[in-house]
Structure formats: C-alpha cells, structure tokens
Chain A
Amino acid sequence: MGALRGARAARWLLAAGLLIGWLEVFVEVLGAPPADHPLAALVAPIPLALMTIVVVAALIAFVAGRAELVAGILVLVAIAFVASLESGTHHGKLVPAIALAAYLPATALTGDARRGHEAACGAIGAAYVLAALAKLSADGLGWGQSGSLALLVAERSFEGPTFVRALRSAIAARPALTGILAAGSLAVELGGIAFLFPRARRVWAVAVIVMHAGIALLMGYVYLPWALVVGGLAWSSLASERQIT
C-alpha cells in the first residue's frame, strides 16, 4: 500500500511546513521587534536561535515518533510565542500548526494516530472553507469578478523577476481571465470539505497545490507550508506503519 510505504512522509512534510512557518514569523519578528511585549527581551538573535534549536529537535522527535505529544506541544508553544509578537497575522504558519494542534489531542484522547490524522485533515479542510467564507462575506459569489483581482495582480506586476512582471501585467489586463481564476480559487477553497473524505483527498490536494502555485506566480504569496501539509496528508499518513498495521 502506498500509504504504508510513505507513512513517514506526512510527518516529514508536516515538520517541514512547521519549520518554514516558524522561520517566516521568526524573521519577521526579528526585523521589527515589538516594543511593548512582556517577553520582548527574548526577541534577539541568540534567544531566537536557541528556540529554533529546540523547535528543530522537537520536530525530529515528532517525525521519529518519540515523545510526540511533548514534542508537538513544545513546537506549538514556540510558534504561539512568536505569533504573539507579530504585528499582523502571518498566515503561512497556520495550516501546519492547526494540523498538529488537531492531531495531538485526537491521538492522545483515542490512542489511535489514524484518528489524529483524520482530525488534522478536518481542521485543514475548515481552514480553506473559512478562507472561502471570508471572500463570500466580503463580496458574495461575485468575489473577484468585478476587477478587484485584476487590480491585485496589476499591483504586483511592479515586483518580481522581469518575466513574472510581464506575465502579471498580461493577466491583469484580461478581466475575463482573472474572473475565471477568482471563481476557480473560490471553488477550490469551498471544496475544503472534500478533505474530510479520504477518497477525495488526492484530487482536492492537486487542485490546492495548483492554486497555491498560481497564487505564488501571480500574487507573490508563497504558501509552501500549506501545500506541503495538504500534499503530505493526502498521500501519506501521520500514523506510523506500526500504528496502521
């Protein structure tokens, strides 16, 4: 079984997503330390480097399936700490963190890592549905059809490599195309509910990965941790081979 052979891949990919999310927030916080946080003294290269070592060690333990509850809680506490320091919500860290936050209690309460895996998939599906609901509550089903997405892409045609700028300019100038892209991304996000159904996971994961690649190309938002975790959970399992068999 493919899921068995790749049983540890989901853990590696989740760990990679968590580490990237941690580093993204880490770099942002280091660049603009908060002045009024009670733990602001910890926002310095050495304390943050030490915390990174702890996070990496905990992630390695999680991947290896050693003391995973303690290791997972350590990672979540560390990410929650840096998240409390950032000026706005840095969404890159969220999907890996909620996958872990759903996996740990479900596994601990049931003693079955397969249920933890299912819980992680459920929480991730909810995150994408929430993103769709935000768009629907802002603009209804017509989100992105009025040219607002074209404008977002046009604004981003000022940054990036030359060919990316040219591509963004060309696409922004075609409102019909940006309308199709907006409708497509809304459909994929609403389709987050498909991640609850094991048989639909891989199809939906492909759509999500394509969507994230498009967003990265046209908008410059690289949600690599999200794509890694969705792919990992769709093609592999957080439950170890021993737990599956």
Chain B
Amino acid sequence: MPARAAWIAFALYLGASLLAGERFPFSRYDMYASLGDRKVGAVLAFRVDGNDVDVRRFDRFAGFDPANLLPEDTPCSMEYAVEDARRWMEAHRAAADAPPGPVRLEIGYWWITVEGGRIVRDFRPIGEAMAWRR
C-alpha cells in the first residue's frame, strides 16, 4: 500500500498543476501533446546551391529579417530550432554599411508528409540572405 504522504503529494500536485497551469513549479506537461492531429509538418532549412547547410557556419547576415523566420501557418513543431536560428542570425547581423557577403543563403521550410510508408519532402522558400562563411 502506498504511504499517505505519497497520495497527498500526488493529489496536491495534480490538482494544483491543473489549476495553476505553467507557473513554476506547476505545469500541465502539455509539451507536444497539443500539436494535435497534424497531417503536414515543416522543418526550417538553410540551403546553399541546393544543399542543406548549418546556419551556424555563417555570419554577417544581410537581406533577411530573422523575425520573419517562422511565417504564420507554418506547421512546424520545432520552434526551439527556429528560435535558435533566429538568435544566431540576430547576434550575427551584418553592419549597415558592410558589403554583402559572397554566399547566397536560401531560407525556407521542408514541408513533410508521411504517405504510404514514405516520407515526402517539399522545399518551400521564404526568403534569401547574403552571408559570409565563418
């Protein structure tokens, strides 16, 4: 039989979390549960000459506002990755009077569906930036 202290803590934490929501140390532990019944996903991608690249290999970005990295209605479940990229681009903007970098970065999303046991990927660009390799 469980100890009374375990039951009390269980009931208190469960009830308080449902009431308080996301207020430390309470949470409803929603995490990825609320993404719902999606049929399409999307993953942010940076491409050079048609190849996916890591945005952290570049700096002094110009020509694209990082605030626009996640367009509305993009079915992306990896906001943390978008946020990481946004922070990187914000922290490595080109100076206003600097010449543009030599690399043309294509920015967009791989739209993804799982159809008949196959992952189907379709790249949809959202913009371009000029950058320098680090």
Contact = CB atoms under 8 A, between A and B. Distances in A.
The B interface is mostly helix, strand or loop, or mixed, namely mixed
Contact of A131 (B31, B87, B118): B31
B115 to A, nearest CB: 10
Contacts, number: 161
Interface residues on B, range: 35 or more
Interface stretch (A43-51, A57-65, A66-74, A153-161): A153-161
Interface in A107-139: 110, 114-116, 118-123, 125-131, 133-135, 137-139
Interface string A87-114: 1010100100110011000100010001
Contacts of B114: 147, 150-151, 154, 172-173, 175
Contacts of B113: 151
Contacts of B110: 158
B45 A152 contact: no
Nearest to B88: A31
A74 to B, nearest CB: 15
Contacts of A114: 3
B36 interface: yes
B37 interface: yes
B9 A126 contact: yes
Contacts of A110: 5
Given A130-B17, A159-B81, A198-B2, A193 B10 contact: yes
Interface of B: 1-14, 17-18, 22, 24-25, 27-43, 45, 52, 76-78, 81, 83, 87, 110, 112-114, 117-119
